[in-house]
């Protein structure tokens, strides 16, 4: 399906040509797309997502300096020789049943590819060949009710549907072992008895070695007289990618995942979630771990993998390192306007936690300086100097100047009702419209459930956290690119001693005390910025918001003072209450 079809997006390929850099900063060469294996995989899809089109365009734009408009930038390691011969599809190796003769396609057979398991199985094959792609193209048909339609072949009677006689004379149907409950029970045994082995041998379908005659009724022998009962299905439990309880069933029977597959806008995190949900193979469609009850919050706060995206480019880094462009896509700049000037200034940061809300510190409202008004939020920013260049251009017709960043008007400011200096130092900024998730703009996760994320930390210096930003605060020039650094939870008792001079007041359990690796951390953290942790959630990793900066610039970190953050977890009820009110 879409998630398997998207598995090829990470590879970009080339042959001899001019040297170039791919969008992933790999060494590559500008070559004709026909010799670029992975881009050809995308090009040959029966239908392409917006993300596919972006990948194709980005690798083409990297070779704009060449004369050939068909050139794309591909990593050297992925160069392949041009195909000089073609072969007919070897459908016999794919274990599907397609008639060899092609007839005219009737209206009832021109259907969505998702309703044609035979062709969908070809499209889902991660090792799809050029011949297979051509076969899918040849099968496309017009159907005004469905944009991506195929002429679904009338399948021959597949062997797994043939009637048979099971051991002891029970009527049965030839099936794959994983689809037959009695056979699958024996297959899962660590040690099979002689009786088990004999039963498997006697159950083998005579025409197909890999299929078994599965009884439609099963005799159950007890101390009472023998009775005949219908075999009850065995529920195969599993854990969903975000750690919830689920059942391993065919994807077409899982409504939550089918809704994802049928989305008009299909993103990389959709593919990630679907891939991580895979729990087994079946005859026609893959099995997925389907959540027992759809985890839908009434206030629609995002859950992994639709929040806290961990960048594939992420690596080890030192204090004050520059981020990759797509890292920490929830970081926000707060824009202020002076009543006497038009130009906006950036004095604080914030964190996108919802499509309509940014969380920041209440002290960032600067209520003591009424000449500065918080007017808007800027999202999707990486290099501030490049952003200024784009804003100053007469036209935004270059790839680098496309709308990666957006400015959203703040329609409502919600300060915590009990904010006082260092205490309850939080504020929610409601945006005038919902933000559409992109590669560069995605919310961070909140620790809504304790099984997802522990909201308490050991009171020592070993718990690693991360900070990111531009060092935005009052009267200081921000960094030219988004920065990042590692920090560590500091002992609260020691922290209280350091702040015993009254600078911070009395620290409480609602605070987190953090020390950095070096003095450059003050150039990274925004006032009102985020303290983050990477957490394993099921089979994935996601970033969770731990705290919001409360004190960092009032007392310089180079003097040995740790940063003070407002811990987010005690305020979740307040956050959920405000968000649910929109």
Give the integer Cα–Cα distance in Å for 316 and 485: 10
> Sign of torsion, CA 495 499 504 509?
positive
Would residue 403 count as lying in a domain? Answer: yes
**Mean pLDDT of all residues in 342-366:** 90
pLDDT of residue 375: 92
Which residues are registered as beta bridge partners of 354?
Answer: 357
End-to-end CA gap in the chain:
36
Identify whether residues 143 and 170 lie together within a single domain: no
Both 146 and 270 in one domain: the answer is: no
pLDDT per position as a tens digit, 249-294: 877 778 888 878 766 666 677 777 888 888 887 655 678 888 876 5
pLDDT tens by residue, 28-87: 888 887 777 777 767 766 555 556 666 777 788 788 777 777 788 887 766 676 444 333
Same domain for 555 and 467: yes
Q: In which band, very low, low, confident or very high, does the pLDDT at 150 lie, cut at 50, 70 and 90?
A: confident
Highest mean pLDDT: which of 2-16, 352-366, 443-457, 502-516?
A: 352-366
213 pairs with which residues across the strands?
174
Q: Is residue 85 part of a domain?
A: no
Asked if residue 445 lies in contact with residue 545, where contact means CB atoms within 8 angstroms, the answer is yes
**Token reading at 574:** 């307040």
Q: Which pLDDT belongs to residue 378?
A: 94
In this structure, are 386 and 533 located in the same domain? Answer: yes
- Indicate the pLDDT class of residue 444, thresholds 50, 70 and 90: very high
Q: How large is the C-alpha radius of gyration of the chain?
A: 29
Average pLDDT score over residue span 106-121: 65
Say if CB 273 and CB 279 are below 8 A apart: no
Averaged pLDDT, 556-576: 82
Average pLDDT in the 215-219 region?
Answer: 49
Describe the strand order of the beta sheet including 212-215 as a list of residue ranges.
163-165, 171-175, 212-215
Find the CATH number of the domain harbouring 417.
2.40.10.10
Range ranked top by mean pLDDT from 47-51, 108-112, 188-192, 492-496: 492-496
Residues 6+ apart with CB under 8 A from 76: 14, 27, 28, 29
32: β partners: 71
Tell me: pLDDT of 483 over 60. Answer: yes
- pLDDT, averaged across the chain: 72
* Domain range enclosing 101: 94-151
Q: How far apart are CA 564 and CA 548, in angstroms?
A: 9
Structure tokens at 566: 């407002």
Task: Say if 225 falls within a structural domain.
Answer: no
Query: Which has the higher per-residue pLDDT, 153 or 456?
Result: 153
How many CB atoms within 10 Å of residue 100? 7
Residue 350: band (very low, low, confident or very high) from pLDDT cuts 50, 70, 90? very high
Number of neighbouring beta carbons within 10 Å of residue 386: 17
For residue 556, tell me if it sits in a domain. Answer: yes
- Do 45 and 101 have their domain in common? no
Cα–Cα distance between 541 and 444 in angstroms, integer? Answer: 12
Mean of the pLDDT values across residues 163-176? 75
Rounded Cα distance, 411 and 408, in Å: 9
Taking the alpha carbons of 467, 473, 479, 480 in that order, is the dihedral positive or negative? positive
> 99 with 123, same domain?
yes
**Separation between Cα atoms, residue 527 and residue 548, nearest integer Å:** 9
Both 312 and 415 in a single domain? yes
C-alpha to C-alpha distance for 440 and 405, rounded to whole angstroms:
8
| CA-to-CA dists, residue 573 to 53, 416, 578, 580, angstroms | 41, 12, 9, 10
Q: How far is CA 35 from CA 19, 41, 52, 134, 338, in A?
A: 15, 11, 18, 16, 56
530: number of CA atoms within 13 Å, CB side?
29
Same domain, 429 and 548: yes
Q: Is 505 left (phi over 0), alpha (psi -120 to 50) or beta?
A: left
Helix or strand or coil: residue 388?
Answer: helix
CA distance 284 to 362: 55
Q: Which of 153-162, 264-273, 530-539, 568-577 has the lowest mean pLDDT?
A: 153-162
Beta bridge partners of 228: 219
What is the pLDDT, as a whole number, of residue 453? 55
Q: Are 456 and 491 part of one and the same domain?
A: yes
Phi then psi for residue 349, to 5 deg, are -120, 175
Residue 581 pLDDT class (50, 70, 90 cuts): confident
Give the contacts of 154 (CB within 8 A, at least 6 positions apart).
99, 109
Q: Could you tell me the pLDDT band of residue 97, with boundaries at 50, 70 and 90?
A: very low
Please tell me the total count of domains within the chain.
5
């Amino acid at each position: 399906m879409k998630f398997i079809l998207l598995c090829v997006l990470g590879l970009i390929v080339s042959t001899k040509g001019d040297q170039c850099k791919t969008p992933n900063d790999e060494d590559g060469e500008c070559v004709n797309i026909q010799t670029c294996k992975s881009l050809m995989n995308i090009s040959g899809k029966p239908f392409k997502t917006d993300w596919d089109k972006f990948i194709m365009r980005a690798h083409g734009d990297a070779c704009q300096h060449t004369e050939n408009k068909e050139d794309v930038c591909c990593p050297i390691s992925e160069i392949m020789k041009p195909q000089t011969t073609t072969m007919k599809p070897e459908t016999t190796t794919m274990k599907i049943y397609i008639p060899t003769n092609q007839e005219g396609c009737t209206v009832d057979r021109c259907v969505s590819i998702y309703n044609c398991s035979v062709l969908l199985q070809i499209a889902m094959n991660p090792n799809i060949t050029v011949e297979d792609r051509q076969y899918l193209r040849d099968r496309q048909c017009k159907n005004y009710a469905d944009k991506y339609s195929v002429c679904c072949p009338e399948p021959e009677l597949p062997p797994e549907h043939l009637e048979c006689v099971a051991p002891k004379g029970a009527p049965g149907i030839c099936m794959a072992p994983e689809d037959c409950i009695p056979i699958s029970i024996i297959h899962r045994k660590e040690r099979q008895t002689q009786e088990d082995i004999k039963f498997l041998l006697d159950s083998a379908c005579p025409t197909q070695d890999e299929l078994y005659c599965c009884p439609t009724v099963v005799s159950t022998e007890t101390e009472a007289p023998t009775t005949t009962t219908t075999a009850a299905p065995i529920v195969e439990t599993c854990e969903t990618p975000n750690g919830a309880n689920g059942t391993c069933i065919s994807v077409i029977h899982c409504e939550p995942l089918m809704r994802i597959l049928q989305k008009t806008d299909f993103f990389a995190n959709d593919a990630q979630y679907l891939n991580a949900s895979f729990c087994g193979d079946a005859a026609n469609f893959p099995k997925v771990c389907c959540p027992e009850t759809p985890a839908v919050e009434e206030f629609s706060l995002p859950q992994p993998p639709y929040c806290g995206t961990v960048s594939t480019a992420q690596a080890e880094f030192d204090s004050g390192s520059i981020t990759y462009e797509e890292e920490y896509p929830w970081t926000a700049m707060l824009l202020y306007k002076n009543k006497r000037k038009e130009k906006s200034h950036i004095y604080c940061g914030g964190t996108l936690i919802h499509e309509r809300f940014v969380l920041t510190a209440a002290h960032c409202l600067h209520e003591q300086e009424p000449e500065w008004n918080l007017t808007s939020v800027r999202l999707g920013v990486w290099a501030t100097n490049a952003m200024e260049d784009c804003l100053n251009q007469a036209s935004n017709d270059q790839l680098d100047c496309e709308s990666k960043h957006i400015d959203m008007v703040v329609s409502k400011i919600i300060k915590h009702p009990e904010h006082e200096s260092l205490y309850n130092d939080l504020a929610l900024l409601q945006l005038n419209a919902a933000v559409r998730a992109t590669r560069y703009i995605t919310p961070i996760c909140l620790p809504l459930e304790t099984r997802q994320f522990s909201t308490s930390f050991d009171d020592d210096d070993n718990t690693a956290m991360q900070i990111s930003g531009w060092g935005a605060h009052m009267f200081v020039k921000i960094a030219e690119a988004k920065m990042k650094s590692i920090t560590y939870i500091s002992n609260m008792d020691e922290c209280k001693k350091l702040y015993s001079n009254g600078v911070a007041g009395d620290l409480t359990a609602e605070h987190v005390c953090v020390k950095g690796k070096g003095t450059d951390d003050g150039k990274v953290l925004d006032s009102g910025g985020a303290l983050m942790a990477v957490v394993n959630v099921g089979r994935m990793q996601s970033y969770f918001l731990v705290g919001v900066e409360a004190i960092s610039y009032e007392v310089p970190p180079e003097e040995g003072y740790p940063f003070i953050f407002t811990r987010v977890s005690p305020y979740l009820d307040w956050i959920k209450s405000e968000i649910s009110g929109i």
